[in-house]
Amino acid sequence: MSEKTFPLNREELEELSKTHPTPFYLYDEKAIRNNAREITKAYGIFPGFKEHFAVKALPNPIMLKILASEGFGADCSSMTELLLAEMAGIQGEDIMFSANNTPATEYREARRLGAVINLDDFTHIEFLEKNAGIPELISCRYNPGPLKSGNAIIGKPEEAKYGFTREQLFAAYPLLKEKGAKRFGLHTMVASNELSQDYHIETARMLFELVAEIKEKTGIDPEFVNLGGGVGIPYKPEDKAVDYQELAKGIEAAYRSIIVPTGLASLGIHIEWGRTITGPHGWLVTRALHTKDIYRRYIGLDACMADLMRPALYGAYHHITVPGKENNALTETYDVTGSLCENNDKFAIQRKLPKIETGDFVIIHDAGAHGRAMGFNYNGKLRCGELLLRSDGSIIQIRRAETSEDYFATLDRDVLKEFSGNN
């Protein structure tokens, strides 16, 4: 069971909404820091542990600074994510650059920052050499194909576009060495939002066996394995959260039995968790704008899937509560919707909820990762802003809501003025 709580009560929300009207995201700094410390403690049993927070989960430099102060680096996969990491003061090997189908400009930027480049394909060895040069430290992403089952979000590894095959890896490391690389890493990520500890332990075991084989066959000693992200969070109240201690201990058992005998006793364990770090500690705070009663009953919120698209994109469950009505009986069945002209713009479908009235706050839980970040501007919808509940109880805005001017910023008004429309 995972209890679904929200840090403010209805009165506090009323007060806050006077200066910060809904919708907005709220993140809980103290809970995120405590979570980061739990992870660091559990994984502290490994030499060279490093978490590179997956920037795509919550691409706000204030959050990156908070996490950096807890010892975390950043995992980036685009130019802008690299710039965000730099903006937050994260540098050098604290940045992991795990991109795919990567343009030359991004490889050059990653090199400029001294990031650890994680190659996604064999052909990128030559591409990187030509466009940015081969760095001293380099990592390769492994795709186990049929050797490993995947899960619903990421799909089967053999159908996934990421990574090198086994055979390609054995050829890649010696080639990279020949081209000047001196230090090596191995990466994989085969699942997304996976709650099974055994699944993640099996993935680690698979990588450890591969590292041992790489050492044996090529004479190359990788200095770290990066187990990627993909650890799930309990979106549903009945889901059980991953136990970091148990997970780390399971991985350690595999480490002892496979890695220690190879003599690679200081092989580092790196991870790129995003969802697990901030997901449960962020909420989309909205108000009910309309109630509607036709063939089904609807609650229309002041947010829409432009603010949070996971339910519409994956049919993902996000728990919903109504401040002040937490203990009311779930007497109603609603579809909870946004205002987009798309019928899949629904935060919940046929959900049992207490009776909701216009003006009620409606809290969408577990929105702290892959939430605001995935937003978009279809229908001219403007994405909401982000607030941070500081450890001292104060609340600051860390990103304002978008305005129409932001939406128009990519248009050229001079061209518009000149353009007659007639041909």
Ligand X SMILES: *Cc1c(COP(=O)(O)O)cnc(C)c1O
Residue 411 CB partners (closer than 8 Å, separation 6+): none
Could you say which of 26, 42, 57, 242 contacts ligand X (CB under 6 A)?
57
Phi (first) and psi of residue 344, to 5 degrees = -85, 5
| 23 prior amide bond cis, ω within 30 | yes
Q: Which stretch binds ligand X (CB under 6 A): 222-230, 383-391, 404-412, 413-421?
A: 222-230
Phi (first) and psi of residue 390, to 5 degrees = -70, 165
Dist CA 225 CA 245 (whole Å): 19
Of residues 186 through 215, those in contact with ligand X by CB under 6 A are 189, 192-193
Each residue 248-277 as x (binds ligand X by CB under 6 A) or -, in order, gives ------------------------xxxxx-
Could you say which of 26, 42, 54, 113 contacts ligand X (CB under 6 A)?
54
Q: Which stretch binds ligand X (CB under 6 A): 130-138, 224-232, 318-326, 357-365?
A: 224-232
The answer to whether 363 and 53 have CB atoms below 8 angstroms apart is: no
Q: Which stretch binds ligand X (CB under 6 A): 50-58, 196-204, 282-290, 346-354?
A: 50-58
Phi (first) and psi of residue 17, to 5 degrees = -70, -10
Could you say which of 56, 270, 319, 365 contacts ligand X (CB under 6 A)?
56
Q: Quick check: 228 binds ligand X (CB under 6 A)?
A: yes
Of residues 344 through 383, those in contact with ligand X by CB under 6 A are 369
Q: Rounded to 5, what percent of the chain is helix, strand, coil?
A: 35, 20, 40
Q: What is the separation, in whole angstroms, between the first and last Cα of the chain?
A: 65
- Residue 373: C-alpha distances to residues 56, 313, 328, 409 (Å): 7, 14, 32, 19
Nearer to ligand X, 242 or 336 (CB): 242
Q: Which stretch binds ligand X (CB under 6 A): 5-13, 54-62, 296-304, 373-381?
A: 54-62
Each residue 83-102 as x (binds ligand X by CB under 6 A) or -, in order, gives ---------------x----
Judged by the rule CB under 6 A, the positions of this chain that interact with ligand X are 54, 56-57, 75, 98, 189, 192-193, 228-231, 272-276, 369
